[in-house]
């Protein structure tokens, strides 16, 4: 059974920032990123335990088409996307962010 997905305000902002950035790079690229994000959310919803645990109950799915990772946690009813992280950035930033959650 697929669970409902909810994005935190931080994850929503990161998603929107990435969409805008990709749209500035090339027309239609933001839409492609949005589509890839949706596909990632569907994969997570189908089997949230499939992706590796990265500490304190958080899991990570690395997107295939774009250099982003989706960090999430879940329970029986809901998947909460806590961050969408640009993997091109310093990975230490992502580790520190997860520690803060």
All structural domains of the chain, each given as residue ranges with its CATH number in brackets, are 4-100 (3.30.2310.20)
- 23: pLDDT strictly greater than 80: yes
pLDDT of residue 41: 96
Is residue 28 left, alpha or beta, with left meaning phi > 0 and alpha meaning psi from -120 to 50? Answer: left
- pLDDT, residue 94, reads 56
Residues 77 and 33 sit within 8 Å (Cβ to Cβ): no
Burial-class residue 29 by CB neighbours within 10 Å (0-12, 13-18, 19+).
middle
Which of the two residues, 63 and 94, has the higher pLDDT score? 63
d(CA 67, CA 29): 13
């Amino acid at each position: 059974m697929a669970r409902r997905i909810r994005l935190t305000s931080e994850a929503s902002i990161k998603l929107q920032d990435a969409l805008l950035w990709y749209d500035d790079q090339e027309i239609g690229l933001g839409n492609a990123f949005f589509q890839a994000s949706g596909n990632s959310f569907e994969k997570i919803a189908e089997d949230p335990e499939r992706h590796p645990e990265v500490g304190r109950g958080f899991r990570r799915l690395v997107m295939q088409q774009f250099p982003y990772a989706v960090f999430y946690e879940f329970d029986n009813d809901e998947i909460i996307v806590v961050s969408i992280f640009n993997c091109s950035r310093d990975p230490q930033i992502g580790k520190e962010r997860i520690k803060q959650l």
